[in-house]
Amino acid sequence: MKKLEHKTVFITGGLSGIGKACAIAAAKEGADIVIADRERGANIKAMDDIKAVQPAAIFIECNVSVYAEVESAVQKVISTFGTLDVALNNAGIGGKPGKIADLDMESWLKVIGIDLNGVFFCMKHELMQMEKQKKGVIVNMSSISGEVGYAKSAHYVAAKHGLLGLTQTAALEYATNGIRVNVICPGFIDTPLLNKLDLNNQPERRQIILSKHPMNRLGTSEEIAAGFIFLACDDSSFITGTALNIDGGYLAQ
Ligand SMILES: NC(=O)c1ccc[n+]([C@@H]2O[C@H](COP(=O)([O-])OP(=O)(O)OC[C@H]3O[C@@H](n4cnc5c(N)ncnc54)[C@H](O)[C@@H]3O)[C@@H](O)[C@H]2O)c1
């Protein structure tokens, strides 16, 4: 028996990296997939990869930092599939680096708008529906930066810490409504987001990042997807309000 058979799984930021790997893993477990992402263009090819596993998968163009777009995306899930069983609030950006005194307001507001407000907007509408259904699972995508500081990334760190608080609060509020809410905290994962650091052309910087992980390597999107499937399915039926660190030991230090 597949772990997510007949479940509707909604994934934000599902056209790339971790979100795409989670979509493919959920599709392999029998789920109906809805991807919400602000990217179209070349990245829509990612939908072909997802549809190769789940032909009924659909794509909704949605910027998670725009409240009305999130509201209509969740409504589209319900009007298409009639239910929302699992939501992965994964869309996120890194933001322009800088020490706090040097961070410009535009960069701060952009990261908070997507990485924190965007997840709150999604949770609000997902929970409205899950409360009606009296069941559902939410998984938020935080980071090791949701548990410890990271120099020159105050916007990202603040947003990702916020997701742990949102997750725990939602877990408490809906624990008796059949709804579980958990959060994943990945270490550095080899995705297009990380490519922006250009580590392949900067071996010293790459080695510094690897050395922060006791396993001395980057993680893969598939390793995060395995954690997502565990939290999404009934194998984790007594787990809510938990942060799952998938980080090669980063946070154990
Ligand atoms: N890669 C890492 O090392 C790492 C580590 C810890 C946490 N994370 C988190 O995992 C999540 C996914 O990261 P990734 O590495 O797969 O990144 P990625 O850049 O490969 O993918 C992010 C996806 O989110 C989408 N997106 C960005 N802004 C959006 C918006 N406003 N509305 C809708 N979609 C939007 C992008 O179009 C893209 O498809 C992010 O929340 C990130 O913070 C990543």
DSSP string, the chain: --TTTT-EEEEETTTSHHHHHHHHHHHHTT-EEEEEES--GGGGHHHHHHHTT-TT-EEEE--TTSHHHHHHHHHHHHHHHS---EEEE--------B-GGG--HHHHHHHIIIIIIHHHHHHHHHHHHHHHHT-EEEEEE--GGGTS--TTBHHHHHHHHHHHHHHHHHHHHHGGGTEEEEEEEE-SB-SHHHHTT-GGG-HHHHHHHHHTSTT-S-B-HHHHHHHHHHHHSGGGTT--S-EEEESTTGGG-
Work out the number of other CB atoms within 10 angstroms of the CB of residue 208.
Answer: 11
Which tens digit of pLDDT belongs to each residue from 90-120? Answer: 999 999 999 999 999 999 999 999 999 999 9
Q: Are 152 and 103 in contact (CB under 8 A)?
A: no
pLDDT of residue 164: 99
Mean pLDDT for 128-148 is 98
Distance 1 CA to ligand 1 centre (A): 31
- Residues composing the chain: 253
- 153 pLDDT exceeds 70? yes
Q: Are 247 and 213 in contact (CB under 8 A)?
A: yes
Name the catalytic one among 67, 150, 156, 250. Answer: 156
Tell whether ligand 1 has an atom less than 6 A from the beta carbon of residue 9. no
pLDDT band at 9 (very low <50, low <70, confident <90, very high): very high
The answer for 216, left when phi > 0, alpha when psi is -120 to 50, beta otherwise, is: left
Q: Fill in the amino acid letter for 77.
A: V
Q: What percent of the chain has pLDDT over 70?
A: 99
Tell me which residue has its CA closest to atom 32 in ligand 1.
Answer: 63
pLDDT of residue 71: 98
**In which residue are the tokens 């408490």 written?**
172
Single pTM value for the model: 0.98
Tell whether ligand 1 has an atom less than 6 A from the beta carbon of residue 153. no
Work out the number of other CB atoms within 10 angstroms of the CB of residue 150.
Answer: 14
pLDDT of residue 40: 78
From residue 165, give the alpha-carbon distance in Å to each of 1, 142, 160, 168, 212: 34, 11, 9, 5, 25
- 39 pLDDT exceeds 90? no
Q: Are 147 and 183 in contact (CB under 8 A)?
A: no
pLDDT band at 49 (very low <50, low <70, confident <90, very high): very high
Domain 8-190+220-246 architecture: 3-Layer(aba) Sandwich (3.40)
pLDDT of residue 45: 92
Distant-in-sequence, close-in-space partners of 201: CB < 8 Å, separation ≥ 6: none
pLDDT of residue 41: 67
Tell whether ligand 1 has an atom less than 6 A from the beta carbon of residue 185. no
pLDDT of residue 42: 64
156 catalytic? Reply is yes
CA distance 43 to 54: 18
pLDDT of residue 193: 87
